[in-house]
């Protein structure tokens, strides 16, 4: 009887659903500690925004009650020990058939206790109950401990991405296009071939989880005019160049997105031409930024070594390499979850 009364007075410990009004600040602080060595300028700013938003607790509580999403933080689980948040897993809806588990973090002082596994199990079960087909996540390629957990839960690697950054847009010398190829701005009639190139270089499992959207590669006259005007006035815009062979077939492309002082570069190259066209694509995109301010972020297939080597040669440094992993939930039985009180 006395023991029961004491237990009822104890502070809650263990797993519970994430509450935006109560937990934003604690989760931000946990992520700052857990990922201290990995945080860049953008990630640090994002955490600061989370803590700023957390100060608006009455507003957040009200929006939460009427089910209005604040950003993409509203779903997930936290783990409580010693009256503070020591573990977190965030759940985001990417599409009706694909939900993402992210920000899986455990405070360094509480690791190796099975907390990450319980957070993951709760997240997977929560998503499974909503009859979703896929749950995906991203993990650093060199994080063997986390990947071991995910493999044990049935996740498989879909593909890998290397994020890189160049601190400035200083001018470079554009290289000569290799003989037999031509580099030009993408035209409206290139849409189908760019779409087919994207399908070719994207792993089959990745296409099953997120089919390539053909509309992303449609370049009608109106879209090109609007993008041109947006670039002139400094609004976010995208420009694409394509490399074609002697038969005018699109065999590679580079995409440059601009938004203020932030620029984003991404390229696709036919697998048979790896090591041939990457330098031409990179220097063409960088040359177009000459005289502009800001940094350039690049995203490359983690296994596309020639692309990563060229980006390094032109001043990009590697930020991180992430493996995307996926678990198909159809026919998955209920996941067991450890809870504490």
Mind listing the pLDDT tens digit for each residue in 248-299? 999 999 999 887 678 999 999 999 999 999 999 999 999 988 877 889 999 9
As a whole number, mean pLDDT of residues 238-246 equals: 94
Q: How far is CA 289 from CA 97, 186, 311, in A?
A: 38, 18, 15
DSSP classification of residue 216 = G
Tokens for 137? 């996540």
As a whole number, mean pLDDT of residues 148-172 equals: 93
Long-range pairs of 192-198 with CB within 8 A, sequence gap ≥ 24: 192/217, 193/242, 193/249, 193/250, 194/240, 194/242, 194/250, 194/253, 194/268, 197/250, 197/251, 197/252, 197/253, 197/268, 197/270, 198/268
State percent of the chain over pLDDT 70: 78
The residue extents of the domains of the chain are: 2-132, 164-323
DSSP classification of residue 113 = S
CATH of domain 164-323: 3.40.630.30
Contacts of residue 149, Cβ cutoff 8 Å, sequence gap at least 6: 116, 117, 120
CB 253 within 8 A of CB 197: yes
- Give dist(CA 131, CA 139) in Å, integer: 24
Across 4-8, 53-57, 165-169, 231-235, least confident range: 4-8
Residue 142: pLDDT band (50, 70, 90) is very high
Residue 70's pLDDT is: 47
Across 16-25, 100-109, 219-228, 317-326, least confident range: 219-228
CA angle 163, 88, 71 (to 5 degrees): 65
Identify any residues that bridge with 24 across adjacent strands, giving them in sequence order: none
Across 54-58, 99-103, 187-191, 295-299, least confident range: 54-58
Give the chain's end-to-end CA distance (angstroms, integer): 18
Query: pLDDT tens digit string along 59-108?
Result: 444 444 444 444 444 689 999 999 999 999 999 999 999 999 999 999 99
Segment (H or E) for 301 = strand 295-301
- Give dist(CA 308, CA 324) in Å, integer: 18
Residue 1 scores a pLDDT above 60: no
What does the buried/exposed string (b/e) look like for 107-134 if buried means 16 or more CB atoms within 10 Å of the residue's CB? beeeeeeebbbbbbbbbbbbbbeeebbb
Q: At what angle do helices 20-34 and 57-65 cross, to 10 degrees?
A: 120
Residue 69's pLDDT is: 46
Q: How far is CA 52 from CA 21, 45, 185, in A?
A: 12, 10, 43
- Centre a 10 Å sphere on the Cβ of residue 30 and count the other Cβ atoms it contains: 23
Q: At what angle do helices 278-287 and 305-313 cross, to 10 degrees?
A: 40
Residue 237's pLDDT is: 74
- Give dist(CA 31, CA 339) in Å, integer: 22
Residue 227 scores a pLDDT above 60: no
Residue 57 scores a pLDDT above 80: no
* CA Rg value for the chain: 23
Residue 336: pLDDT band (50, 70, 90) is low
pTM of the predicted model, to two decimals? Answer: 0.83
In total, the chain counts a number of residues equal to: 341
Fold category of 2-132 in CATH: Aminopeptidase (3.40.630)
Residue 224: pLDDT band (50, 70, 90) is low
DSSP string covering 263-281: EEEEEEE-GGGTTTSHHHH
CB 127 within 8 A of CB 329: yes
């Amino acid at each position: 009887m006395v023991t029961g009364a004491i237990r009822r007075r104890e502070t809650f410990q263990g797993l519970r659903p994430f509450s935006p009004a109560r937990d934003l600040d604690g989760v931000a602080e946990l992520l700052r500690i857990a990922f201290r060595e990995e945080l860049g300028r953008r990630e640090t700013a994002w955490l600061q925004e989370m803590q700023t938003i957390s100060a608006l607790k009455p507003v957040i509580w009200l929006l939460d009650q009427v089910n209005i999403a604040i950003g993409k933080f509203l779903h997930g689980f936290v783990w409580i020990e010693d009256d503070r948040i020591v573990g977190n897993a965030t759940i985001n809806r990417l599409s009706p058939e694909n939900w993402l588990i992210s920000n899986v973090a455990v405070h360094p002082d509480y690791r190796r206790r099975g907390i990450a596994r319980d957070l993951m199990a709760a997240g997977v079960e929560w998503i499974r109950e909503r009859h979703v087909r896929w749950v995906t996540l991203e993990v650093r390629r060199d994080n063997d401990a986390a990947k071991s957990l995910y493999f044990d839960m049935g996740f498989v690697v879909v593909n890998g991405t290397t994020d890189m950054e160049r601190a400035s847009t200083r001018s470079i010398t554009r290289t000569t296009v290799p003989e037999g190829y031509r580099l030009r701005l993408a035209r409206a009639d290139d849409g189908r071939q760019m779409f087919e190139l994207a399908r070719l270089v994207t792993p089959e499992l990745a296409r099953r989880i997120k089919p390539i959207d053909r509309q992303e590669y449609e370049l009608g006259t109106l879209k090109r005019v609007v993008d041109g005007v947006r670039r002139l006035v400094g609004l976010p815009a995208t420009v694409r160049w394509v490399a074609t062979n002697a038969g005018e077939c699109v065999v590679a492309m580079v995409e440059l997105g601009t938004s203020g002082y932030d620029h984003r570069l991404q390229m696709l190259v036919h697998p048979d031409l790896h090591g041939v066209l990457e330098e031409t694509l990179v220097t063409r995109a960088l040359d177009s930024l000459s005289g502009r301010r800001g940094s350039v972020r690049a995203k490359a297939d983690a296994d596309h070594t020639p692309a990563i080597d060229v980006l390094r040669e032109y001043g990009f440094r590697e930020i991180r390499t992430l493996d995307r992993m996926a678990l198909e939930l159809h026919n998955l039985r209920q996941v067991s979850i450890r809870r504490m009180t």
